[in-house]
Amino acid sequence: MPGDSAKTIVITGASSGIGKASARLFHENGWNVVATMRRPEAETDLQPSERMKLVALDVQDPESPPRAVAEAVAAFGQIDVWLNNAGYGAFGPLEAGTREQIIRQFEVNVFGLIACVQAVAPHFRARRSGTVINVSSIGGIMTVPAFSVYNATKFAIEGLSEGLWYELGTFGIRVRLIEPGAIKTEFGGRSADVWDISRLPDYAGFMEKVRASRTKYTQNSSPPELVAEVIYAAAIDPSDRLRYLAGPDARRYVPLRRLLGAPAMMRMVRRMFTR
């Protein structure tokens, strides 16, 4: 079997951004990589090889994660790390989101991740080993304007992962949370869902200020390769550590929130983004 002595990682959302950067980094470090995405036939950058498999996985399809687990085990014998990276950001005030848009945000970012954990957990329990890595965000610790529903999904992942740290830890399975700040990915482009506020003109001034402040804030975003490096460090860390910040803004603002407290930090964010 190919890559017998190498460890194996399965990555969701590997067609771009953090997922693709992670696939490359782990592969360069001798790992077997199962790079999953909705349309692997359209992938042109990651090339299938003895240690790189492209596999179809749509986190909104309940039958897809178990199939990906089976394909990974068939290819490499076992899975050592499962990286839950697939996700996107809904941008706009809560009132602007349709029921379908709000449900989809939770289906992808929360319920899709849960389906993946449920699919791989039996494999890890049987081996009494394995690592689940969930990509959260500093948006799961602190909120920013016009991302209320996205923030809600990441707050959910924070609580879910902390709970899994207890549950899966009972079987020797490690759980990691990666908390990036602003990253240069397609999060704000192809991977975003910008909500229409045309029927809510009262929000026009608010959104104009938020967009301008967000553009300024993200000018110095970190590259996805930086997050991939943090993910790799978390994957090989033998400790039971749960949380890993990624990016200079994450390392700056999260400790600042803890130091100042939530009310003071919220006032600071309001000044930054809406005034």
Active-site residue (options: 15, 16, 64, 136) = 136
Q: Is 216 an active-site residue?
A: no
Catalytic residue among 88, 150, 244, 253: 150
Residue among 2, 87, 75 at smallest CA distance from 37: 87
Among candidate residues 15, 137, 154, 213, the one labeled active-site is 154
Distance CA 218, CA 182 (A): 6
Q: Is 136 a catalytic residue?
A: yes
Q: Which contiguous run of DSSP H or E holds residue 56?
A: strand 52-56
Token representation of residue 201: 């003109």
Among residues 2, 85, 83, 91, which one has the least CA distance to residue 48?
2
* Long-range contact pairs involving 229-234 (C-beta distance under 8 Å, separation at least 24): 229/25, 230/178, 230/180, 231/18, 231/22, 231/25, 231/83, 231/133, 231/135, 231/178, 232/22, 232/25, 232/26, 232/29, 234/131, 234/133, 234/176, 234/178
Alpha carbon separation from 46 to 5, 16, 20, 23 (Å, rounded): 22, 10, 8, 8
Instruction: State the helix-helix crossing angle for 148-167 and 99-106, rounded to 10 degrees.
Output: 30
Helix (H) or strand (E) holding 244: strand 243-246
DSSP 87-153: --EEES-GGG--HHHHHHHHIIIIIHHHHHHHHHHHHHHHHT--EEEEE--GGGTS--TT-HHHHHH
**Residues labelled as active-site residues:** 136, 150, 154
